Amino acid sequence: MNRFFTAVREAGVVGAGGAGFPTYIKLQASVDTVIANGAECEPLLSHDRANMVHHPDKVVQGLGVLSEAVGAKRRVIALKEKYTDAEKALAKCGDSFEFFSLPDYYPVGDEVEIVKYVVGETVPEYGLPLDVGVVVNNVETLMNIADAVEGVPVTHRYVTVCGEVENPKVLRVPIGTKIIDAVNRCGGVTTGKPKYYVGGPMMGRMVDAYEPVIKTTTGIFVFPEEHFLIWKRSLRIEHILRQAQSACTDCRLCTDSCPRFLLGYDIEPHKIMRTVNFAMEGMTREMMSAHLCSFCGVCEYACPMWLSPKRVYEKTLDFLKGEGVNFDKRKRELAEHPMRKYRRIPSSRLLFRMGLTKYDVVFEYDESDWQPEEVFIPMLQHIGAAAVPVISVGDKVLRGEVIGEVPAGKLGARVHASIDGVVASVNKSGVVINT
Ligand code: SF4
Ligand code: SF4
C-alpha cells in the first residue's frame, strides 16, 4: 500500500468525471502511463477547462501524487487543442509532464478514446485502461487527490450550469445542493417551462429540480420544455421499441458512426434494431453486445430517422441483468476500422444538430464560498457500496466532518458534511443538513 492510499480513501475521493469509481483503488495499480483527462467529453461542459486555467498547480500536484503512487514514468495531460488558455496556465507549472492535444470531436473525452489517442492501444472489450498499462483520471479528481493529501476531504464540486439560465457559469457548489439552488445562484431560469438535465446533452438524464448535486454531477442544463432533447428523452421505451420495429431502414448509419464499432469492438447497433423485430427472444450475439455500448448517443445523432439504438441497448442491458446474464470475457484481437478517422463527429456539428449552438457561450467562473439553506447528501454517489450514516438528527456538524462511513470490507467512499449546520434528517439513503 503506498503512502497516499489512506489519505485519498479517507477524503472520499471518487472519479469526478464518470461513474465515480473510488479513487484509492486506482492508486494500488502499477502502470507505465498516467493520463490527466482534461478533454471534457460532453458538448458544452466547461468546468474542467476552467479548473485547469484557475488551478493548474493543483492539477499538476494531483497528477504527481497519482503518478508516484502507481509508479508511472509517463505523465500526460490530455486536453482539447482549442484549450490554449488551459495549456498556457499548466505550462507554468513545470515540466514534469507532457501535453497531448486532442481534436475537438465527440466523444474524445471518453477514456477509451483518450487511451487510443495517447498510447495508440485499444482498451480490450470489457476491459479497463489498466489492461494496457494506463490509468486515466479526470482533472477534478486530481485536484481532489491533491486536497486529500493535505487532509481536505471532498465537500464540493465544480459544475457547468448552462442552457436557459440568466448567467451561465462554472460554479463551485457544496455536495447535496439542490439543482434549483445552483440554477438560482446563476440568476435563475430564462424560460417559462424549464426542464432540468444533468450530466451532458448526449449521455445525461432529465431530473427533478430538487435532485441534489453529487460527487459525479458534471453539468446542470436547463432547457425549454419544447426543446428537441427534452422531447427525445421523454419518449417512453415502449414507443422507442415500436419505432425500431416500424421505422428502422437498416441503413446502418448508426453502426458506421459508432465509436466503439470503429475501434473494432463487436457491436453493431443497426443489428440490435433488427433484433427488436424478433421480440428480443433468446440470447443473441447482438443482445450480448449491449455490454459493449458506452451509451455515448452517437447512434441517435447519426440516425436519419431519429431512432435510438442507444435506448434499445439500455433496455437490452436491463433485460440481461434481470436474467443474470454476464458478458463473455474472452479477449479478441481488435482491428480499428480503416475509416475511423474520417467518421469522427466535430463538436460544433453535434451542437448544431442537437439545437445547442446558442448555449455555447463563455462561462463565468464562480468559486465563491456560499452555502444553500439546506443540502441532501446521498450515502451512495458512485460505484460500490453505500456509506452508513454516523450522525444523528439534531447533531451540529461542520463542513468536512465525516457523516457516512464505508461498511467494513466494502468498496465505497466516505461521505462528509458539505456545509456547517444541523442534521435535520437521517436515513440510509442520505442526510439532510440545514444551516
Ligand atoms: S450509444 Fe450508440 S454509438 Fe454509442 S457506443 Fe452505444 S451503440 Fe455505439
Ligand atoms: S441509422 Fe437509424 S434507420 Fe439506420 S439502421 Fe440505424 S437505427 Fe435504423
What is the pLDDT at residue 243?
87
Taking alpha carbons only, the member of 188, 158, 135 closest to residue 40 is 158
Residue type, 116: K
Residue nearest to atom 3 of ligand 2 (CA): 248
What is the pLDDT at residue 366?
97
What is the pLDDT at residue 136?
96
Q: Domain extents for the chain?
A: 5-149, 155-227+360-369, 237-353, 373-435
Taking alpha carbons only, the member of 186, 141, 184, 195 closest to residue 160 is 186
**CB neighbours of 150 closer than 8 A, spacing ≥ 6?**
none
Q: Which fold has domain 373-435?
A: OB fold (Dihydrolipoamide Acetyltransferase, E2P) (2.40.50)
pLDDT category at 331 given cuts 50, 70, 90 is confident
Helix/strand/coil for 163: strand
pLDDT at 325 over 90: no
Q: Give the model confidence (pLDDT) of 40-52 as tens digits.
A: 989 999 999 999 9
Find the 269 Cα to ligand 1 centroid distance in Å: 7
As a whole number, mean pLDDT of residues 70-78 equals: 97
Phi-psi region of 298 (alpha: psi -120 to 50; beta: other; left: phi over 0): alpha
Phi-psi region of 280 (alpha: psi -120 to 50; beta: other; left: phi over 0): left
Residue nearest to atom 4 of ligand 2 (CA): 251
Give the ligand at the shortest distance from the Cα of 269.
1
| Residue 7, all three cell numbers | 489519505
Phi-psi region of 432 (alpha: psi -120 to 50; beta: other; left: phi over 0): beta
Which atom of ligand 2 is nearest the CA belonging to 249? 3
Q: Give the model confidence (pLDDT) of 6-32 as tens digits.
A: 999 999 999 998 778 899 998 999 999
Can you name the residues that pair with 86 across neighbouring β-strands? none
What is the pLDDT at residue 322?
86
Q: Give the model confidence (pLDDT) of 385-404 as tens digits.
A: 999 999 999 999 999 999 99
Find the 261 Cα to ligand 1 centroid distance in Å: 8
Rounded Cα gap, residues 201 and 15, in angstroms: 20
| Residue 32, all three cell numbers | 507505465
pTM of the predicted structure, to 2 decimals: 0.94
pLDDT category at 130 given cuts 50, 70, 90 is very high
What is the pLDDT at residue 257?
96
The strand order across the sheet containing 156-163 reads 205-207, 194-198, 219-224, 156-163, 169-174, 364-366
Rounded Cα gap, residues 31 and 376, in angstroms: 38
Helix/strand/coil for 116: helix
Rounded Cα gap, residues 300 and 312, in angstroms: 11
Rounded Cα gap, residues 311 and 317, in angstroms: 10
Find the 300 Cα to ligand 2 centroid distance in Å: 9
Find the 199 Cα to ligand 1 centroid distance in Å: 17
Helix/strand/coil for 332: coil
Q: Which is more confident, 276 or 362?
A: 362
Residue type, 276: V
User: Looking at residue 124, what DSSP letter applies?
Assistant: P
Q: Indicate the helix (H) or strand (E) that contains 194.
A: strand 194-198
Residue nearest to atom 8 of ligand 2 (CA): 248
Percent of the chain with pLDDT over 90: 85
Find the 295 Cα to ligand 1 centroid distance in Å: 5
Q: Does domain 237-353 have CATH number 1.20.120?
A: no
In CATH terms, are 5-149 and 373-435 the same topology? no
Question: Cβ < 6 Å from ligand 2: which residues?
Answer: 248-254, 270, 273, 302-303, 305, 307, 309
**CB neighbours of 325 closer than 8 A, spacing ≥ 6?**
283, 288
**What are the backbone angles phi and psi of residue 231, rounded to the nearest 5°?**
-55, -45
What is the pLDDT at residue 311?
94
What is the pLDDT at residue 275?
83
What is the pLDDT at residue 17?
81
Q: How far is CA 97 from CA 69, 101, 118, 228, in A?
A: 15, 13, 13, 42
Q: Which fold has domain 5-149?
A: Rossmann fold (3.40.50)
For the domain covering 155-227+360-369, report its CATH number.
3.10.20.600
Whether 13 and 157 have beta carbons less than 8 Å apart is answered as no
Q: How far is CA 377 from CA 105, 184, 214, 388, in A?
A: 35, 19, 7, 12
Query: Whose grid coordinates read 471532498?
Result: 154
Rounded Cα gap, residues 407 and 147, in angstroms: 24
Segment among 95-109, 172-186, 281-295, 410-424 with least mean pLDDT = 281-295
